Structure 1
Amino acid sequence: MQVALQSLPHGPSFRFLDELVTLEPGKEASARYLVRGDEGFLAAHFPGNPMMPGVLLIEAIAQLGGIVVQPALTELRLTGVRAAKVLGAAVPGDVLEIRAKIEGSLGGLVQIEGDVSGPHGLLASAKVTLSGAVPGNG
């Protein structure tokens, strides 16, 4: 399953998935991410009280969704976020549990519902839309 992580277009410093726990291609997946404390975004968010920005929690959902939809779509992009809720903060040392499930798709669009939980419960949830190219439809 680690090969699937390498399929993400993001560089390692902007990848918010360390380990795939489950993967059912075309349906759903779960993953983990350790907030190490040395991530660049933590230095300024916030000095003396570092926490992972909520928008990056949502990005983690989108990244995991991207793994779920491959190889049915390529050249994936995040094109929409709906019903996003940030309910808590992730801090250095937290292991995050990320979940993403396909709700539906139409052509090159796919709707993902997902959430991120930390050691103290639900941190974020969102519905994200990914768009991409359908292989063979050039």
Structure 2
Amino acid sequence: MAGKDWILDPETLDYSNIVADLEAIRQVNSQRGEMEHLTAIIFDDAEINICAGFLDVTDQEFWVAGHMPGMPLMPGVIICEAAAQMCSYHALKHNLLGCEVMGFGALNNVRFRGAVIPGDRLTVVCKLTKMRRNRIVVSQFQAIVGSNLVCDGEISGIPLPTDELRKLATRGN
């Protein structure tokens, strides 16, 4: 992919510049345990609405044993979840949507272009392209390993009705 097509050129990313570590990400995003798919945020610019971070993929991921035994491949849905968490971090951190928790609204034009395996550092870069406060945020995303694009597409986030969902979650207890 030509440099002009990158949201942020992966060659220019500074992985030593940790903007938010896992604990700081947890202050913004709700996911915990095996559903946390970001290790750190390394770029977050509210003026141009671009955010970048990474997941260090280990052989301890919950999917390793069962997703292609003997040749573990990160499921595409998990790559998309990492992108969703990146977009959510940026939108919630800067209160762009005006909600407590964001959920998937849509995935469009997603293309898988390469494999992600244990030992890889999966970098995710997101750029906000549309926003309607209290309704939706839409971002372009790119998932990269080294300097190779492994997945890209468009992702939409919507505000979740947290009070209603909490009531539903406790209803069965």
Would you call these one fold, judging by a TM-score over 0.5?
yes
Amino acid at match of 1:82: N
Q: Which has the larger radius of gyration?
A: 2
Which residue number in structure 1 is paired with residue 85 of structure 2?
63
Which residue number in structure 2 is paired with residue 72 of structure 1?
96
Which residue number in structure 1 is paired with residue 60 of structure 2?
38
Amino acid at match of 1:76: M
Gaps of 5+ in 2: 1-19, 161-173
Alignment of 1:54-133 (within 5 A): 54-70=76-92, 71-73=95-97, 74-107=100-133, 108-119=135-146, 121-132=148-159
Which residue number in structure 1 is paired with residue 7 of structure 2?
none
Which residue number in structure 2 is paired with residue 136 of structure 1?
none
RMSD in angstroms over aligned alpha carbons? 1.8
Which residue number in structure 2 is paired with residue 19 of structure 1?
40
User: TM-score, normalised on structure 2?
Assistant: 0.72
**Following TM superposition, by how much is the alpha carbon of 1:12 offset from its aligned partner in structure 2, in angstroms?**
2.8
- Please list the CA deviations of residues 61-116 of structure 1 after superposition, one character each: whole Å capped at 9, or x if unmatched: 11100011112332210110001001111001001111011001113200011110
Amino acid at match of 1:78: F
Name the structure with the higher strand share: 1
Q: Is the 8 A contact 1:81 1:126 kept in 2?
A: yes
Secondary structure of the equivalent of 1:92? coil
Q: Is the 8 A contact 1:4 1:67 kept in 2?
A: no
Higher relative contact order (CA 8 A, sep 6+): 1
Which residue number in structure 1 is paired with residue 4 of structure 2?
none
Amino acid at match of 2:89: I
Hey, what's the Cα distance between the residues in 2 that align with 1:28 and 1:22? 8
**Following TM superposition, by how much is the alpha carbon of 1:120 offset from its aligned partner in structure 2, in angstroms?**
5.6
Gaps of 5+ in 1: 134-138
User: TM-score, normalised on structure 1?
Assistant: 0.89
Of 122-131 and 2-11, more deviation after overlay is shown by: 2-11
Amino acid at match of 2:136: L
Q: Is the 8 A contact 2:120 2:145 kept in 1?
A: yes
